[in-house]
Amino acid sequence: MSVQQQFDGHWFVTIQPLPRIDERIPLNDLLTRVQRAGVMLRGWDYPHIDNNTRNLDGAIENTTDWREYHERWRFSTSGFFAHRWRMREDGIPERVGTLDFINAIWSMTEIFVFSSRLYGEDPTVEQVTVSLELDGLRDRRLTSSPEYWINVRHLPTEDTFRREATLNRASLLADALVTPGRWAQALFHVMGAPGLTEETVRSHQQRLIERRFG
């Protein structure tokens, strides 16, 4: 089996506003709602919106299939959001089978920033459950750059990493960095890098929020 065939990792995210209200958002407002909540801090936005939105029964769906970007998301009138995307590292020949730790921190942070923008000021929402799943982790190497060297002691033996959190709306707005920061630390622990501190993770989150890439 080639390296390319061996690694096929994905991220799967859901955002679930509570209580459930089936017609929380009118069908015609779904795309605008995602556009207004979208996170555009770095070169690729979250979620990426391509010009192919299709209407489903009570939802919209958007797909991107281009270079290393393979993703699909769905947004329903209940406010339920689900997003699946292929690990971009597996679409770049020299990075197959790896996971960049800064990109992982930034992706997790973008998910929560997006969630807070989607529901932070929606009075029909009391709580939001955010779930995250990464699969295809077994034997995947956590990587960094020369500027941010990390010590990786072993490759992960578990293939899937799952986390879920339910936050009230105020916490979602106030603490959009805390939960993803903790999840990132937990992920790196599983991937053989337990030494990454909360301060290190937070500093990279701040770099994203402040758009400091240099």
Partner 1 sequence: MADLEEFFRTLLANPRETKSRDNKGAMEWPAAKTEGRFDLLADIMAFSNARDGGTIMFGIENSTHAPVGLTQAQVSSFDKSNIFEAMKTYASPVPDFDLERCEIDNRWFVAIVVKEFRVIPTVCSRDAQIAVPGPPAKQKNVLRAGAVYVRTDGAQTIEINSEQLMRDLIELATRRRGEDLLRQIADLLPETMRGASKPPAVNPYASDIEAARRDLSL
**69: buried, middle or exposed (CB in 10 Å: 19+, 13-18, 0-12)?**
middle
CB 13 within 8 A of CB 162: no
Interface residue with partner 1 among 1, 28, 43, 153 (CB under 8 A) is: 43
CB atoms within 10 A of CB 213: 9
The candidate with the shortest Cα–Cα distance to 15, out of 206, 179, 137, is 179
Report the distance separating Cα 16 and Cα 63, nearest Å: 20
How many residues make contact with partner 1 (CB under 8 A)?
Answer: 58
CA distances from 207 to 66, 127, 149, 201 (A): 27, 28, 16, 10
Tell me: does residue 141 bind partner 1 (CB under 8 A).
no
CB nearer partner 1, residue 157 or residue 203: 203
Q: Does 170 bind partner 1 (CB under 8 A)?
A: yes
Is residue 146 involved in binding partner 1 (CB under 8 A)? Answer: yes
Task: Pick from 26, 29, 40, 55 the residue near partner 1 by CB under 8 A.
Answer: 40
**Positions in the binding site for partner 1 (CB under 8 A):** 10, 12, 14, 16, 18-20, 39-45, 65, 67, 70-74, 76, 78, 80, 82-86, 102-103, 116, 120-121, 127, 129, 131, 145-147, 164-168, 170-171, 173-175, 178-179, 207, 210-214
